[in-house]
């Protein structure tokens, strides 16, 4: 049934909108008092490096605290301050220090607890931490969970710390191409880079074990938020331990989705596990789910976006067609009147199709082109133009056809005219 919908375009495409609230990043401390206040607020001791932001000495310090197992486990933040900064001047004046490069251990109460100069000895840094009883957030949470093993929130917090630590430790072990995939998502390496057994255990061993234990116990379904499942850790897919843990856990999460198709946290967790496991087609899972009557687009938009990115990187064009094709067939029967308003309340002429094209329609057309079903791709492009006339569509479609090695279709789509009325 066709119907009219009057809406105001706030942001994004028409297949689902969301509002994102982001906290403003903290301003960098400019004085010693501000730095002390930040340490107290974060409840975390901090390494202060007086040596300049481009100092070779500060770079070696960063590498040291990441490489040494004891220091990496404590995982304190490192704050580098230029020799000419107000913080450096205050510290040197208070302690009568000279201009040499120096590390300072700032406590959670904002006091400088220890310091040293010259080539850094990791044992010296560990001694500084131990002498003041500083164990870091991870060890603090491990000790808490040992006393309260059934504490669900503590499990969530510790798993988040393990995942962040795994990402930080493994990021420098990956080849450059892993972190910078091609823009079109097609030229993927023949084989996925995997960490060695030793590196994998060091980076991801604790995270994989705790994740599997929590998911297999079913406790993850009890938590109201489970923040770790909404965070993306792309380097986890290069961990054999994380891949295996994800494969073991996927059937459990899929079972939960069959019981409760509207469980957003379960969808988010499925998407992350599927990516870590090397990618999974979405259509079979959708077919195994019985949604509520009238629930057509029951896959959350954020999950669909991540799935599209993952499917493109795997060149899984057939599954993209099976997932996005029915979505388009349903959507094209709807008539939208989209109005954009400026700050003065007056209507602003804008190409309202752009977000929808980039998020859903372009991947669908691309999938048909990659599969060789060019006539179907052409049909969809022309249907899109009739559904929501757009001055930008000819250029977008033409550029896509060129990227897919279809110059003749690129020429035809570039010549598309926008219907009047």
pLDDT digits (tens, 9 = 90+) for 149-195: 988 888 888 988 898 888 888 877 877 655 444 444 444 444 578 89
Phi and psi at 184, nearest 5°, equal: -85, 0
Half-sphere exposure of 280 (CA within 13 A, CB side): 23
Q: Where are the domains of the chain?
A: 32-134, 137-315, 332-421
pTM over 0.75: no
In this predicted model, which residue has the larger pLDDT, 115 or 371?
A: 371
pLDDT digits (tens, 9 = 90+) for 314-365: 899 999 999 999 889 888 877 655 444 445 554 444 457 888 898 889 999 9
**8 contacts 350 by C-beta, under 8 angstroms:** no
Please check whether the domain covering 32-134 is classified as CATH 3.30.1360.120: no
Q: What is the mean pLDDT of residues 229-235?
A: 51
What is the Cα–Cα distance from 77 to 57, expressed in whole angstroms? 17
Least Cα distance to 74 among 104, 44, 48 occurs for 44
- In percent, the amount of the chain with pLDDT more than 70 equals 80
Q: What is the mean pLDDT of residues 375-396?
A: 93
Q: What is the mean pLDDT of residues 289-308?
A: 85
Which range (39-53, 199-213, 332-346) has the least confidence? 332-346
pLDDT of residue 16: 38
Which range (129-138, 333-342, 369-378) has the least confidence? 333-342
Phi and psi at 248, nearest 5°, equal: -70, -30
Which range (123-127, 204-208, 398-402) has the least confidence? 123-127
């Amino acid at each position: 049934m066709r119907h009219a919908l009057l809406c105001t375009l706030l942001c994004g495409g028409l297949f689902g909108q969301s509002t994102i609230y982001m906290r403003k990043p903290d301003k960098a401390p400019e004085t010693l008092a501000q730095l002390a206040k930040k340490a107290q607020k974060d409840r975390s001791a901090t390494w202060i490096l007086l040596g300049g932001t481009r100092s070779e000495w500060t770079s070696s310090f960063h590498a040291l605290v990441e490489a040494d197992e004891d220091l990496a486990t404590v995982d304190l933040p490192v704050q580098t301050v230029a020799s000419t900064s107000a913080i450096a001047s205050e510290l040197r004046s208070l302690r009568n220090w000279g201009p040499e490069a120096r590390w300072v251990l700032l406590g959670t109460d904002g006091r400088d607890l220890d310091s040293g100069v010259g080539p850094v000895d990791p044992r010296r840094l560990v001694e500084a931490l131990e002498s003041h009883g500083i164990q870091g957030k991870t060890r603090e949470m491990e000790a808490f969970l040992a006393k309260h093993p059934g504490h669900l929130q503590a499990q969530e917090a510790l798993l988040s710390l393990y995942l962040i630590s795994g990402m930080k430790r493994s990021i420098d072990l990956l080849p450059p191409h892993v972190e910078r995939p091609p823009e079109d998502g097609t030229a993927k390496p023949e084989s996925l880079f995997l960490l060695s057994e030793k590196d994998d255990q060091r980076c991801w061993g604790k995270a994989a074990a705790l994740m599997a234990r929590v998911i297999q116990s079913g406790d993850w379904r009890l938590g109201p938020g489970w923040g770790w499942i909404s965070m993306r850790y792309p380097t986890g897919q290069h961990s054999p331990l994380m891949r295996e843990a994800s494969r073991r856990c996927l059937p459990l999460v899929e079972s939960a989705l069959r019981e409760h198709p509207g469980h957003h946290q379960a969808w988010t967790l499925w998407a992350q596990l599927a990516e870590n496991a090397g990618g999974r087609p979405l259509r079979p899972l959708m077919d195994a789910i019985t949604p509520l009557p009238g629930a057509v687009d029951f896959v959350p938009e954020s999950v669909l976006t991540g799935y599209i990115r993952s499917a493109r990187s795997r060149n899984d064009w057939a599954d993209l067609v099976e997932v996005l094709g029915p979505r388009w067939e349903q959507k094209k029967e709807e008539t939208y009147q989209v109005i954009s308003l400026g700050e003065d309340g007056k209507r602003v002429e804008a190409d309202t199709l752009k977000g929808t094209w980039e998020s859903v329609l372009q991947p669908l057309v691309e999938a048909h082109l990659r599969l060789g079903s060019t006539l179907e791709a052409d049909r969809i492009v022309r249907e899109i133009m009739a559904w929501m006339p757009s001055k930008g569509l000819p250029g977008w479609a033409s550029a896509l056809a060129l990227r897919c090695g279809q110059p003749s279709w690129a020429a035809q789509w570039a010549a598309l005219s926008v219907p009047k009325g």
